[in-house]
Chains A and B, each alone.
Chain A
Amino acid sequence: MNRKKGDKGFESPRPYKLTHQVVCINNINFQRKSVVGYVELTIFPTVANLNRIKLNSKQCRIYRVRVNDLEAAFIYNDPTLEVCHHESKQRNLNYFSNAYAAAVSAVDPDAGNGELCIKVPSELWKHVDELKVLKVHINFSLDQPKGGLHFVVPNMEGSMAERGAHVFSCGYQNSTRFWFPCVDSYSELCTWKLEYTVDAAMVAVSNGDLVETVYTHDMRKKTFHYMLTIPTAASNISLAIGPFEILVDPYMHEVTHFCLPQLLPLLKHTTSYLHEVFEFYEEILTCRYPYSCFKTVFIDEAYVEVAAYASMSIFSTNLLHSAMIIDETPLTRRCLAQALAQQFFGCFISRMSWSDEWVLKGISGYIYGLWMKKTFGVNEYRHWIKQELDQIVAYELKTGGVLLHPIFGGGKEKDNPASHLHFSIKHPHTLSWEYYTMFQCKAHLVMRLIENRISMEFMLQVFNKLLSLASTASSQKFQSHMWSQMLVSTSGFLKSISNVSGKDIQPLIKQWVDQSGVVKFYGSFAFNRKRNVLELEIKQDYTSPGTQKYVGPLKVTVQELDGSFNHTLQIEENSLKHDIPCHSKSRRNKKKKIPLMNGEEVDMDLSAMDADSPLLWIRIDPDMSVLRKVEFEQSDFMWQYQLRYERDVVAQEEAILALEKFPTPASRLALTDILEQEQCFYRVRMMACFCLAKIANSMVSTWTGPPAMKSLFTRMFCCKTCPNIVKTNNFMNFQSYFLQKTMPVAMALLRDVHNLCPKEVLMFILDLIKYNDNRKNKFSDNYYRAELIDALANSVTPAVSVNNEVRTLDNLNPDIRLILEEITRFLNMEKLLPSYRHTITVSCLKAIRVLQKNGHVPSDPALFKSYAEYGHFIDVRIAALDAVVDYTKVDRSYEELQWLLTMVQNDPVPYIRHKILDMLTKNPPFTKNMESPLCNEALVDQLWKLMNSGTSHDWRLRCGAVDLYFTLFGLSRPSCLPLPELGLVLNLKEKKAVLNPTIIPESVVNNQEPVNSTNNHGQSVGFQNTFSNSQEEEEIDMDTVHDSQAFIYHHLNMLERPSTPGKEQSSGEVNMHPVSAAPLSVFSKESNSSKHSDHHHHHHHEHKKKKKKHKHKHKHKHKHDSKEKEKDPFAFSNSPASARSIRSPSLSD
């Protein structure tokens, strides 16, 4: 559809082309957290009458703008600072989301907009008409930036360098405008000259080549000069300044690593692996790394763990680790590999528009996956794919779909492809963070699907083609029209694919890229002995939200006695049943080895099988070549065979999951066997632990022998001579290390007939802690000890409480006393000998919260609050905050909620602010439709303010606030709000005509209420207060049919929201509210909406008079609204005001 545009090549939305930009920051003050500098943009007009130049800039104070050395006038207007104007009493999220999307569009560089509008001086108009170069010089400063640039200044003695103070750029998507004026778009490429003057003890790391470092003449500062000759988007420009330690990579001298003081040994170890990632990518892409150098900077208080920018990446310092740490190593390596993949696709190759983002995320995610496969093995890779698939499926089913390639046609409301979401997907800046994460996840999964279709070889050829085109283009100096080759678009990418592979992948793209939703299969089968045929039935659910219909091939693998056979079924509209002929007759008596899919032949004990059927197990879509969820029914013995003999880890994991429902001795045996099998993938074994615990709990009455896994653990990890003592730690074998860590955690989930953790298990875990001896270990045991504490926490069951007594020490359960003893000791030891990343503190805090929640220890957030303060390690803070969030929910504490929200506004660390909102959203103190004392008007106002104006410096945070608001109050007006006052009046006579007599007393009450100042219509007699904005209440109004007029006015009010003076609501209204809210759950929304329109028509004529009056006002309001947007014709078409006017009943008259 709109791909035609791509076919023509890239068309800039701007009337000029940027070719070069200078950024010069001459002063950085860490004490005051301020930055002073200038930028100079070299632009070529592309139209003759260019008289305004729109640029992006946020937060910056702009002192002076000159165009070709002539002073130029400029206007600075940022509608995203305050999305809805504060006098507005609007509190419904729909309204906000529309307004927010409109505000973001109004400054969207991809639509040619910007916050900063510079008037080209009239002297230059002639110059412009000749399309000659313009140099725009802007002096700016930044004072205490709240986003975009993050200052970390530890509060201690010494110079800034001694303190380890540093600053770095950060943000979500294109956020460069927060720290210097630019065209903050991924599609506007130019070359760069970057200059930073910093303290002599500091280092400034930025994009491109460091050309030279020069002292200032007082020798107290130095200036770093960077040149970036590869055309790059402003959004990929970054900066990090601090007293960094410098490490030149011993394998690749072009690569330099930077870390904060004292961490150099860790940096050496952590980055020692990076060269292998480089080699891998360069080899598969058959393309050299595009930039002449690469820099990694590890900084504190990172915005995200990994941020990739042109020729440099900014990482969280918490990824650094020493050689003693096992668990962090793979995680950090993954981060390094991710960052590097994004260097190729994301930094070097940029995107044309937001709807092409999926290509970049998809490719970088896909090649990162290839690296995973090579580095960690096929098992890990398949496990990862399965995990990502499960995640995206769960998310889409929950929220209703993730759309990779949104197409926006004409701004019509009905075409909104994401109407199921509470935010707009038109802009990256309006997206919920979770949605964006899932978006990336889906993107790389779809790339994998494309690979399945066209083969990896072709896939890599396509990438290589994109890269080589881009690198040819990048070397073209000043021929900026060539530079658009460095931008990838969906159509360009698809064209490359069809050119290279000659295959048509259009159906695949249509299914997964142009359309949201996943597929949900339900499978079951029957074996027809007479025909020797497997009758497979595959149903689909494509009506629930987030699902779509799948039509096309589907692979089914059937393991029979004679071997494994693949069948490709054609899934069509109406065919549910598929007959699959079986190859083998059942013959259980013959002793013969059974061939598996991978050619292996194994002996199986076939006694568990159905004697009549040759089927061992069946798998639907074993290669995960559809984004789907499969619920398949087969008997328990088939799952057991699948677990034992299928070699694919995904199949094994599926089998484990399924076996949870079959608590039988046979399942137990199968799981135990897997646990013991050393060839088996360690993650499968870990999963089996938890499944075994669940099965044991289900079988508790018939369970024989020692608690599950105990003898196994003893055999594997305890001394031969004294089985109650664990061997001294030796973590050389990582597989058994992970198993050793996991087994106690799973065992602690065991419960006896009284639903308590068996004493034997608790004692066993306590002994593990007691005898834990790490003196001879090469590796740190901090993760192991932390998991032992988790195990202790898992063993806790709810306290038996006698008539709600207060929890004191005296009535403490003796087992709990033992647990507390350990936790106390561990937590105190951490103060003296802290563990890596304070894993033990984290586990202790979690355990204490579990004890509190189960009523063993008095519930009290004070401890967590002290650990949540700024100055603790981030993991500890998050664990503590999580506990506070949980406390807020369980104890419904308004005070704690306020404390959390204050932290959201004031905490110095952006990640913490984001995380609190995230945790509150995931574990909300209350949700929509739930009665809670916390839900009150003040909170609504506070949150509204937070998302409306309090978070304008951080896109991610604002979207987090929107998510929270949605979780708490839903899309419509929060139910806890008093009914909005309306500046509307009703003619009592008319009203009486329609009033349902049963309601009269209520309306009388209303009429008796003091008439507010809004009552400005002279002829009005009564005053109607029963309006509400929330849909639910709307229903009540409708269904009680006492006041159809009320409904109409209410409806009008919803559409146009006149601002009403007077905040105070009379008590009568507040009291009334629960009455009207009570029956709301009875009516479904659909029936309501139909009634709604009925009524609308029905009473139309009756109130024409009223409506006219109203309409008048309505229009007036429109003018007011549109005035704001007048500067911006693009925004107007998208503005909520115009959207509303389309639906407005006054127009439908």
Chain B
Amino acid sequence: MLQSYISEMGRSAKSYCEHTARTQPTLSDIVVTLVEMGFNVETLPAYAKRSQRMVITAPPVTNQPVTPKALTAGQNKPHPSYIPSHFPEFPDPHTYIKTPTYREPVSDYQVLREKAASQRRDVERALTRFMAKTGETQSLFKDDVSTFPLIAARPFTVPYLTALLPSELEMQQMEETDSSEQDEQTDTENLPLHMSTDDSGPEKENTSVLQQNTSLSGSRNGEENMIDNPYLRPVKKPKIRRKK
């Protein structure tokens, strides 16, 4: 009972202190707590000053067992600022020092592919389901609209644009093919494949550079009117005689 009383008191006091946005209870918190618990605080000083109270002596100071020099390894870590100095020192470093180790990387090609595939599938499935849930749907079964939800077909204003232009993802993939090469380096299976993509990388850059060059030269020529193409000529101002 005593224990529960004391712990309830502590808990309450803590609540009060936290209520006032503090972390450490003050005397007044305790007082409020006691009042709350129906204890007459007035009687406390009198009780403290009673004649036959028991005094508990401080525990005797025992000598710290000195660890043999041979066993110490390294310097013990000093206390950080938030630990009061009376706390015991840190144990020897070897007892808590950690060397970061990672799980053996999954290098099994099969597992990797499996993972990549199922991950992509899950993402796609989740995404399409979400899209289907949030938008209009069509269904193959009249009685069931949720198992195979199809995002409703929506006509475009300019249908050929989406159909002909490569999607952003494809463009991105093209770039990724260049940047993220070495993901699966461990995979011997695909090594020759990597080589080929590596080869194609610079090639592609070359071609794009080339294309830029040609387009550059094209526009430059256009400016200089080297290309005498009638569609590049400036539009003429109307002649006066046309005005009448």
A, B in one complex: yes
A interface residues with partner B (beta carbon < 8 Å) = 154-156, 163-164, 200, 203, 209-217, 219, 222, 246, 248, 250, 253-254, 256, 260, 262-263, 266, 268, 293, 300, 317-318, 320-322, 324, 719-722, 725, 727-728, 730, 732, 770-771, 773-778, 780, 807-809, 820-821, 824-825, 827-829, 831-838, 848, 851, 857-858, 860, 862-863, 866-867, 869-875
Bound-state Cα–Cα, A960 to B235, Å: 45
Q: Is the CB of A210 within 8 A of B231?
A: yes
B113 at the interface (CB under 8 A from A): yes
Cβ contact within 8 Å between B109 and A719? yes
> Which residue of A is nearest B213, CB measured?
A250
Cβ < 8 Å to A, chain B residues 128-160: 128, 131-132, 138, 140-144, 147-160
Name the residue of chain B whose CB is nearest to the CB of A845.
Answer: B153
Residues of A within 8 A of B152 (CB): 866
Query: Do residues B144 and A808 form an inter-chain contact, with CB atoms below 8 A?
Result: yes
Q: Is the CB of A721 within 8 A of B110?
A: yes
Q: Can you show 11 pairs from A to B with CB atoms below 8 A apart?
A: A212-B233, A214-B238, A215-B236, A248-B231, A773-B116, A780-B166, A828-B151, A831-B131, A836-B163, A838-B162, A874-B159
Contacts of A870 in B (CB 8 A): 155
Interface membership of B18, Cβ < 8 A: no
Asked if A827 and B160 sit within 8 Å, CB to CB, the answer is no
Which of B124, B142, B197 contacts A829, CB < 8 Å? B124
CB closest chain-B residue, reference A880: B153
Does residue B35 face the partner (Cβ distance < 8 Å to A)? no
A-B contact sample (10 more), CB < 8 A, given A730-B197, A780-B170, A824-B149:
A214-B242, A246-B231, A317-B164, A318-B164, A725-B113, A730-B193, A778-B204, A808-B141, A828-B128, A834-B163
Q: What is the CB-to-nearest-CB distance from A351 to chain B, in angstroms, rounded to a whole number?
A: 30
Contacts of A780 in B (CB 8 A): 166, 170
* Shortest Cβ distance from residue B207 to the other chain A in the assembled complex, whole angstroms: 8
Give complex CA distance A359, B160 in Å. 36
Which one, A216, A293, A719, A825, contacts B125 given CB within 8 A?
Answer: A825
Residue on A nearest B152 in the bound complex, by CB? A866
Given A216-B238, A832-B127, decide whether A250 and B232 contact each other with a Cβ distance below 8 A. no
- Chain A residue numbers with a CB within 8 Å of B230 are 209-213, 293
Closest Cβ of chain A to B141, distance in Å, is: 5
Establish whether residues B238 and A871, one from each chain, have CB atoms under 8 Å apart when the complex forms. Answer: no
Contact A774 B173 (CB under 8 A): yes
Q: Which residues of A contact B196 (CB under 8 A)?
A: 730, 732
Q: What's the Cα separation between A447 and B138 when bound, in Å?
A: 53
Task: Given A213-B233, A213-B236, A721-B109, answer yes or no on A776-B197 (Cβ-Cβ < 8 Å).
Answer: yes
9 tightest Cβ-Cβ pairs between the two chains A and B: A871-B155, A828-B128, A210-B230, A722-B110, A873-B163, A253-B227, A809-B144, A156-B157, A873-B159
Q: Give Cα distance in the complex from A214 to B156, angstroms.
A: 36
Q: Which residue of B lies closest to A266 (CB)?
A: B164
Nearest chain B CB to A1116 CB, angstrom units? 55
The smallest beta-carbon distance between B76 and chain A, in angstroms, is: 51
Chain A residues lying within 8 Å of B161, measured Cβ to Cβ, are 262-263
Q: Would A776 and B177 count as touching, CB distance under 8 A?
A: yes
Q: Which of A248, A824, A867 meets B222, CB within 8 Å?
A: A248
Docked Cα-Cα span, A358 to B222, in Å, equals 43
CB interface residues, B 3-28, toward A, < 8 Å = none
For B140, the closest partner residue in chain A by CB is A857
Whole-angstrom CA separation of A156 from B155 in the bound complex: 12
Query: By the criterion CB–CB under 8 Å, are B148 and A820 in contact?
Result: yes
Beta-carbon nearest neighbor of B147 in chain A: A809
Min CB distance, B114 to chain A, in Å? 8
Partner of A263, one of B132, B165, B189: B165
Min CB–CB distance A260 → chain B (angstroms): 8
Interface residues of B (CB under 8 A from A): 109-110, 113-114, 116-118, 121, 124-125, 127-128, 131-132, 138, 140-144, 147-167, 169-170, 173-174, 176-177, 188-190, 193-194, 196-197, 200, 204, 211, 214-215, 217-218, 222, 227-233, 235-239, 242-243
**Nearest residue in B to A809 (C-beta to C-beta)?**
B144
CA distance A156 to B124 in the complex (A): 31
Contact A820 B140 (CB under 8 A): yes
A836 to B166, CA, bound (A): 7
A703 to chain B, nearest CB (A): 29
Chain A residues with CB under 8 Å of B235's CB are: 200, 213-215, 222
C-alpha spacing A837/B163, complex, angstroms: 5
Query: Contact partner of A322 among B154, B166, B176, CB < 8 A?
Result: B166
The answer on a CB contact under 8 Å between B158 and A164 is yes
Residues of A within 8 A of B165 (CB): 262-263, 266, 322
**A872, B110: Cβ atoms under 8 Å?**
no
Q: How far is the CA of A778 from the CA of B214 in the complex (A)?
A: 22
Given contacts A256-B231, A727-B193, A825-B124, contact A154 B158 (CB under 8 A): yes
Contact yes or no, B125 A871, CB < 8 A = no
A210 CA to B228 CA in the complex, in Å?
A: 11
What chain B residues lie within 8 Å of A203 (beta carbons)?
Answer: 231
Report the Cα distance A840→B118, complex, angstroms: 20
In the complex, what's the smallest C-beta–C-beta distance from B69 to chain A, in angstroms? 56
B169: min CB distance to chain A, Å: 5
The residue of chain B having its C-beta at the shortest distance from the C-beta of A837 within the complex is B163
Complex Cα distance A1143/B241, Å? 67
Q: Which of B132, B156, B243 contacts A872 (CB under 8 A)?
A: B156
Is the pair A871, B177 in contact by a Cβ cutoff of 8 Å? no
- A948 → chain B closest CB, angstroms: 32
Option from A727, A773, A838, A863 in Cβ contact (under 8 Å) with B163: A838
Contacts of A869 in B (CB 8 A): 153, 155
> Please, which residues of chain B bring their CB within 8 A of the CB of A828?
128, 131-132, 149-151
**Choice from B132, B140, B174, B177 contacting A858 with Cβ under 8 Å:** B140
CA distance A730 to B236 in the complex (A): 52
B116 and chain A: residue at smallest CB distance: A773
- Beta-carbon contact of A863 and B131 below 8 Å: no
B176 & A324 in contact (Cβ 8 Å cutoff):
no
- Residues from chain B with Cβ under 8 Å of A217 in the complex: 238, 242-243
CA distance in complex: A167, B189 (Å): 54
* A834 neighbours in B (Cβ, 8 Å): 162-163, 167
**Measured between alpha carbons, how far is A771 from B114 in the docked complex, in Å?**
7
Say yes or no: A833-B229 contact (C-beta < 8 A), given A154-B157, A262-B161.
Answer: no
Is the CB–CB distance between B237 and A215 below 8 Å? yes
Shortest distance in angstroms between B217's beta carbon and chain A's nearest beta carbon? 7
Distance in Å: Cβ of A751 to nearest Cβ of chain B: 25
Contact (Cβ within 8 A) B231 A858: no
CA distance A507 to B196 in the complex (A): 57
Bound form: Cα–Cα A904–B214 in Å: 46
Whether A866 pairs with B127 at a CB distance below 8 angstroms is no
Q: Closest chain B residue to A835 by CB distance?
A: B167
Residue of B nearest to A328 (CB): B164
Contacts of A807 in B (CB 8 A): 141
Closest residue of chain A to B207 (Cβ to Cβ) is: A323
Is B238's CB under 8 angstroms from A775's CB?
no
- The complex places the Cα of A214 from the Cα of B242 at a distance, in Å, of 10
CB neighbours of A863 from chain B (8 A): 138, 140, 150, 153
Smallest beta-carbon distance B126→chain A, Å: 11
Identify B150's interface contact among A211, A322, A324, A827, CB under 8 A: A827
Asked if B153 and A867 sit within 8 Å, CB to CB, the answer is yes
Chain A residues lying within 8 Å of B110, measured Cβ to Cβ, are: 719, 721-722, 725
The answer for the CA separation of A851 and B127 in the assembled complex, in Å, is: 25
Distance to closest chain B CB from A271 (angstroms): 12
Contact partner, B166, options A324, A827, A867, Cβ 8 Å: A324
Contact A268 B215 (CB under 8 A): yes
From residue B185, how far is it (CB to closest CB) to chain A in Å?
13
State whether A829 touches B128 (Cβ < 8 A). Answer: yes
Q: Please state if B113 and A773 are interface contacts (CB–CB under 8 Å).
A: yes
Which among A320, A719, A821, A874 has the greatest number of chain B C-beta atoms within 10 A? A719
Most chain A CB within 10 A, of B190, B211, B222, B235, is at B235
What chain B residues lie within 8 Å of A777 (beta carbons)?
A: 177
What chain B residues lie within 8 Å of A250 (beta carbons)?
A: 214, 217-218
A367 to chain B minimum Cβ distance, whole angstroms, is 27
Closest CB of chain B to A331's CB: distance in Å? 14
